[in-house]
Chain A
Amino acid sequence: MSDPLLKVRQLTVNVEDKEILHQVDLDIAKGETHVLMGPNGAGKSTLGYALMGNPRYEVTGGSVAFDGADLLDESADQRARSGLFLSFQNPLEVPGITLGNFIRNAVEQRTGERVRLWNFRKQLEKECEILDMDPSYVDRDLNVGFSGGEKKKAEILQLLMLKPKLAILDETDSGLDVDAVRTVSKGVEEYQKQQDGALLIITHNTGILSSLKVDYTHVLVSGQIVGGGDASLVDEINRDGYEKYEARAKAAE
């Protein structure tokens, strides 16, 4: 079998000199959908940030290969250009730069070509429609004054436009109403179908998974992967909680 798209081995990550992730292993193949669950503070966002290359998250051990290359050697913008995407749990506001201009710049960086404005505009409008977003948002400053749900939709709009190989969605469903969760789930499905895109979905809920076929579920507790299974694990955890896994994490310490 060929190498997976993402291959994480023994990844250890510090935040402000405190070890948050301990020797994490994770494989994601092209086109697969993985779910990452875990209690608050387990280190899920930390894993997302570390993979994306946030300089505040210091990798102190292990390795990450992405699409055959050593990811840890690259800066965040290089990782993005090589096809990694992170949808932020809390997207930031960027005054002065419109959503449309921001995406256009990002797309030009990703493809290395100047976009044709007309085509770009058409595609944006199409993706907005999928996400049930008013196209006028494109001309507003990025995330400035957006509601929580609108910010999340703007993240998925960027995902659809940037067409990465692997997208990490960090609680993209939190703060969305029921209808919006369904819409966003459809948007994510669209990405997966068009790009044969792989996903690592960090979530506490099943809503965002409604349109997706989950290949694998991982459980992260106290910075360690302590379990895994198929799609049914999501329901099981939502029913029984993390007790069983927390005991495992304790035992491993």
Chain B
Amino acid sequence: MNATQQANNLVVNHLPGQTWNWLKMNDARVAVDASAAPLEAQITVPEGLREGGALVPIGGGMGPDYDRWIQQDAAVKAYETAEGQKVAEPLKLTYALAGGKTAAAACRIDAKAGSELTVIMDFAGQPEAQPGTAAFSTKLHLAAGAAVTLVQIHRSGAGQRILNDVGAVLEENAKFNVIHLVMDGASTYVGCQADLKGDQSSFNADVAYLVQNEDLLDTNYVALHHGKKTESRIISAGVLRDRAEKLFRGTIDFKKGAAGSVGNEKEDVMLMDDTVVNKTIPLILCAEEDVEGNHGATIGKLDDALLFYMESRGIDVDDIYEMIAKSKLEAASRLIPDQAVREDVQDYIEAHQVQKQ
């Protein structure tokens, strides 16, 4: 069957615009099984949050190829808030990945006007997990004035491949916050797109990662500014070591009519070994004159003087690297709004031995 064959090789994380010629950086190709098993979560539904809600199709950062593929088999959960409802406790979805057969899960959030919700997804691994692939799709609609924070924690263990797609459409004055913590995973693909459709809507992404060994992190963050006076902010901080590879795509796309909009992206990456591969593609597209887009990057190595200062207090080089790597994750973990999850993640970071080679 033709569809099956196509599904075996997906084009994901494609940069907006076709004209870019960077070799093999415009998009990523991932080979996947033609079908997947539905992946069920352990779910804590906060009081007052209803299941249901209907969403029109919403694009994500991973792209249409991925959407088509994951929609066939994913276990779907859908929730909706009521108008003006401030949901006090977070909606928690915990996935205990066992590996083996490819598994897929989708989540849809319909946030009604003026409502507030926090969603925490924990992509955790089972202790004796087989290598495997887990695929996720999270699509959100934020009606006027709605505010949603989405926290996704990648800690499935060293053997997993994770495909993670997020897409949101924001109406007037809506606010969408994303916190991504990538702590491990053999290869991780994250696509995250926010369509700032309504005037004065805003999108904020905080990304922190540690990529080590031969692991790969391939990301695609996209802010589509359609409405007037919309704002986006994409902040990424991470550490690469050993032979890790990271590709960060960050696009701020000002569409015609997005007058008065502002977009900022900032990357701060620490390279711990000469053998890492670090690629960054910041892209600011302007079809509108009255906009402001900024990009900043700090790419650092641990400097010798700093290293000696820390060593002189009795900490050996490996531990210094580990402390610095953990510090980046810890800084991002402090943004997790739920105390229990935050502490759990901090314990995980604390216990997480950065592998020494």
Contacts and interface: CB of A to CB of B under 8 A. Distances in A.
B314 A110 contact: yes
Contacts of A77: 311-317
A80 B308 CA distance: 11
A200 to B, nearest CB: 15
Contact of A52 (B312, B323, B327, B331): B312
Contacts of B328: 96
A146 to B, nearest CB: 14
A145 to B, nearest CB: 16
A106 B309 contact: no
Interface residues of B, number: 20
Interface string B315-334: 11101000110011011000
B306 interface: yes
A95 to B, nearest CB: 8
A7 interface: no
Contacts of B308: 54-56, 76
B304 interface: yes
A5 B106 CA distance: 67
Interface in A84-117: 85-86, 88, 91-92, 94, 96-97, 101-102, 105-106, 109-110
A106 B314 contact: yes
A97 B327 contact: yes
Nearest to B309: A92
Nearest to A97: B327
A140 interface: no
Contacts, number: 67
Contacts of B327: 96-97
A228 to B, nearest CB: 27
B305 interface: yes
B54 interface: no
A158 interface: yes
* Chain A: number of interface residues, binned into ranges: 20 to 34
Contact of B313 (A53, A75, A96, A102): A102
Contacts of B311: 53, 75-77, 80
Contacts of B304: 55-56
A20 to B, nearest CB: 17
A9 interface: no
Interface string A225-250: 00000000000000000000000000
A169 to B, nearest CB: 13
A96 B324 contact: yes
A162 interface: yes
Contacts of A204: none
B324 A162 contact: no
Contacts of B309: 88, 91-92, 94
Contact of A97 (B314, B317, B323): B323
Contact of A86 (B305, B312, B319): B312
| Residue with the highest number of chain B CB atoms closer than 10 Å, among A52, A94, A96 | A96
B323 A80 contact: no
A81 interface: yes
B310 interface: yes
Contacts of A55: 304, 308
Contacts of A101: 323
A77 B316 CA distance: 6
Contact of A76 (B312, B319, B324, B331): B312
B312 A80 contact: yes
A105 B323 contact: yes
Contacts of B315: 77, 80, 105-106, 109
B324 A80 contact: no
Contacts of B305: 92
A57 to B, nearest CB: 10
B331 A158 contact: no
Nearest to A158: B313
A94 B312 CA distance: 14
Contacts of B323: 97, 101-102, 105
Interface string B281-311: 0000000000000000000000011101111
| Residue with the highest number of chain A CB atoms closer than 10 Å, among B310, B317, B330 | B310
Nearest to B306: A92
Contact of B331 (A53, A96, A110): A96
B313 A94 contact: no
B306 A162 contact: no
Contacts of A88: 309, 312
Contacts of A109: 313-316, 319
Nearest to A82: B314
Contacts of A94: 306, 309-310
B113 to A, nearest CB: 39
Given A92-B309, A106-B314, A109-B314, 9 more contacts: A75-B316, A76-B308, A80-B315, A94-B306, A96-B327, A102-B313, A102-B323, A106-B313, A109-B319
- State the 9 A-B residue pairs at the shortest beta-carbon distance, nearest first: A96-B327, A80-B314, A106-B313, A76-B311, A109-B314, A92-B309, A77-B311, A77-B316, A81-B314
11 contacts: A55-B308, A77-B314, A77-B316, A85-B313, A88-B309, A88-B312, A91-B309, A92-B309, A94-B306, A97-B324, A102-B323
